[in-house]
Structure 1
Amino acid sequence: MNTRIIKAAAVQISPVLGEAEGTLHKVCEAIDQAARQGAQIVVFPETFVPYYPYFSFIRPPVASGPEHMKLYEHAVVVPGPVTDAVAQQARAHGIVVVLGVNERDHGTIYNTQLVFDADGTLVLKRRKITPTFHERMVWGQGDGSGLKVVDTAVGRVGALACWEHYNPLARYALMAAHEEIHCAQFPGSLVGPIFADQMEVTIRHHALESGCFVINSTGWLTDAQIQSLTPEAGLQKALRGGCCTAIVSPEGVHLAPPLKEGEGMVIANLDMSLITKRKRMMDSVGHYARPELLSLVMDDRAAVPVRSSTPAGPAADVVPSAPLPQPFGSSSHEPERSPLARVA
């Protein structure tokens, strides 16, 4: 039985709207703070760097062009200066970091989740497979190559963003990979209190069904930020509430009071033996499964625009190789060349 105790931190935090550098500075400060409190893993909100595209929720597409272009300007290239800075913080403190970013890959922005191991290695880059409603005007779609669990210094870590948790097959893919710590990320400050209520049900259910810990992080907008996004009182109401930063045990229990307003950090100890305690009774991918009746088929190849095959060998994925100018700071890195791509 796994008897380790892992200290975890879930961060509720506001971005610096309109730029990446200020938001990144807040990320680094929060990592410092979590590490000072003994945290071994820290989780940040969905697409926190440079900021979640709140504009797309309150403005019609025809009026969103300038803000969408600004998001392109400040979006994160992976690898690049943002990932270098976060990796350095993770390595300096020996802490696992889970960060949501708007990732720019040539002409498309993706909702991307990054997992940095305690030595600073980027061990997972995955993209939200289906952006929700208004988000489809902002982000491209991810693929099955990121639906996996990775080994880290704190255990087996998986991640999903926001309403991906309403895709039971996506969740099952991670459950079948035996995730021990599930990192959930939501934008926060959206929709209203009902969003926070639904979020809480969702993360507690996943903890129970998967028999894992769930660390959930949501963003937060100040009144001044909400007013800067829109002067209309009705639309401002749509940018309040919807926060539930929390840490939940495999038994569906909050390990600390959830944070639903303001900036802050939820910290709790994860007793890893509770995973076995839960799965002894109900292992949804083991003794409680019926794979001869119900099973999941998943295409875990990276989606690429061109595939070519030659008589000399098996099919090979072809990805354009032209480098993209760095939109934030300066770095000698080029965009990632789909290292997870697989042969068709």
Structure 2
Amino acid sequence: MDKKTVRVAAAQIAPDLTSRDKTLARVLETIRDAAGRGAELVVFPETFVPWYPYFSFVLPPVLSGREHLRLYEEAVTVPSAATDAVAGAAREFGIVVVLGVNERDHGTLYNTQLVFDADGCLILRRRKITPTFHERMIWGQGDGSGLKVVESAVGRIGALACWEHYNPLARYALMAQHEEIHVAQFPGSLVGPIFADQMEVTIRHHALESGCFVVNATGWLTEAQIRSVTPDEGLQKALRGGCMTAIVSPEGKHVVPPLTEGEGILIADLDMGLIVKRKRMMDSVGHYARPELLQLCLDDRPTAPMATTSGALPSLSATPTRTENDGHSAVSLDRNPDQRIAVLRGEAG
């Protein structure tokens, strides 16, 4: 990329647990705030709109039906008025926005990451490939079509949600596509301090291994919100801690001190020259790779419950976008030019 310095923002704020529109208003306010402070990229927490399903961590399945249905009612469809509002703010302020949403696609919810470029175009819509533990009762599974790095106004962006960072092959898929800024999103206000400690190790290691910057955002719950999720004081302990909003350099260092308590926005200037400085010594998908011995095969075709012989499968891409990514019934195995990652793609019949 040509830019030498990129100013980024990571938001640790609380959602409104009663309304998608009220949470969305917080998002739009934060975009304006970050842009006003010169940020060219702003990152929000995992499934921030309408809110992360904290209830599913402390309520047994038999008691979670009402809250699960309420999440369906408040969830985001793509495209919709909600995504249009975020796209409009990105375009108005000339800022790249990465937003986590609960996406509703007919009868299923997905943990979805949306990347809006500075011109308002939705350049990435990806779904978490494996929901974790309690989340499996809430969300469906994504597919390999979202494991891609996209060009943006601030450079090459890759994104993963929460414990997807414990899948080394998912991380390697993005590394092999030469991400420059990796966006990580976690729920925050969950599990306790150990979650924040583990998160810090994870994102710092990825920055080192990938030779990229990591911008991580976690959410925050107020004490009143915690009590609204559960009146059980014992269970309330599981809804505190776990916050590690942070910006990490390719050398594995915090660019600014992380935010672990309360609401706030981290702002940092990224020296993009550090990417080459790190990779000169250790490029995991370049001179430090051994593709003739070890190589990843990624099936990046969108999945669908039905295939037809008369036409293409439905695309997961949403408008407005610059390109479409349709999968088809015919299959071929292609390799990208640098031979670090084999990609299984569909071909038009």
TM-score scaled by structure 2? 0.91
Deviations 1:246-267 (A, max 9, x none): 0000000000010000000111
Check the 8 A contact 2:5/2:272 in 1, yes or no: yes
Check the 8 A contact 2:314/2:326 in 1, yes or no: no
Equivalences for 1:266-305 in 2 at 5 Å?
266-305=266-305
Runs ≥4 residues deviating over 3 A:
333-336
The residue matched to 2:160 in structure 1 has which SS? strand
Aligned counterpart, 1:247: 247
Q: C-alpha separation between the residues in 1 aligned to 2:276 and 2:236? A: 45
Equivalences for 1:206-221 in 2 at 5 Å?
206-221=206-221
Q: C-alpha separation between the residues in 2 aligned to 1:297 and 1:55? A: 37
CA 1:334–1:246: 2 relative to 1, 3 Å: closer
Using the TM superposition, give the Cα deviation of residue 19 of structure 1 relative to its aligned residue in structure 2, in angstroms.
1.3
Using the TM superposition, give the Cα deviation of residue 317 of structure 1 relative to its aligned residue in structure 2, in angstroms.
1.7
Equivalences for 1:254-265 in 2 at 5 Å?
254-265=254-265
Aligned counterpart, 1:203: 203
Aligned counterpart, 1:330: none
Aligned counterpart, 2:161: 161
Q: C-alpha separation between the residues in 1 aligned to 2:324 and 2:76? A: 18
Q: C-alpha separation between the residues in 2 aligned to 1:228 and 1:341? A: 43
Using the TM superposition, give the Cα deviation of residue 318 of structure 1 relative to its aligned residue in structure 2, in angstroms.
5.1
User: Runs of 5+ in structure 2 lacking a partner?
Assistant: 330-349
Check the 8 A contact 1:305/1:319 in 2, yes or no: no
Amino acid at match of 2:258: P
Q: C-alpha separation between the residues in 2 aligned to 1:228 and 1:202? A: 31
The residue matched to 1:257 in structure 2 has which SS? coil
Check the 8 A contact 1:80/1:335 in 2, yes or no: no
Q: C-alpha separation between the residues in 1 aligned to 2:82 and 2:226? A: 26
Calculate percent identity across the aligned residue pairs.
71
What is the number of equivalent residue pairs in this alignment?
Answer: 327
Amino acid at match of 2:196: A
Using the TM superposition, give the Cα deviation of residue 2 of structure 1 relative to its aligned residue in structure 2, in angstroms.
5.2
TM-score scaled by structure 1? 0.92
Check the 8 A contact 1:306/1:319 in 2, yes or no: no
Q: C-alpha separation between the residues in 2 aligned to 1:3 and 1:281? A: 22
Residue 327 of structure 2 corresponds to residue 342 of structure 1: yes
Structure number with higher relative contact order (C-alpha < 8 Å, ≥ 6 residues apart): 1
User: Runs of 5+ in structure 1 lacking a partner?
Assistant: 321-332
The residue matched to 1:131 in structure 2 has which SS? coil
Using the TM superposition, give the Cα deviation of residue 4 of structure 1 relative to its aligned residue in structure 2, in angstroms.
1.1
Deviations 1:95-114 (A, max 9, x none): 00000000000110000000
Aligned counterpart, 2:312: 316
The residue matched to 1:252 in structure 2 has which SS? coil
Using the TM superposition, give the Cα deviation of residue 36 of structure 1 relative to its aligned residue in structure 2, in angstroms.
0.7
Using the TM superposition, give the Cα deviation of residue 297 of structure 1 relative to its aligned residue in structure 2, in angstroms.
0.5
Using the TM superposition, give the Cα deviation of residue 334 of structure 1 relative to its aligned residue in structure 2, in angstroms.
9.4
Using the TM superposition, give the Cα deviation of residue 341 of structure 1 relative to its aligned residue in structure 2, in angstroms.
3.0
The residue matched to 1:98 in structure 2 has which SS? strand
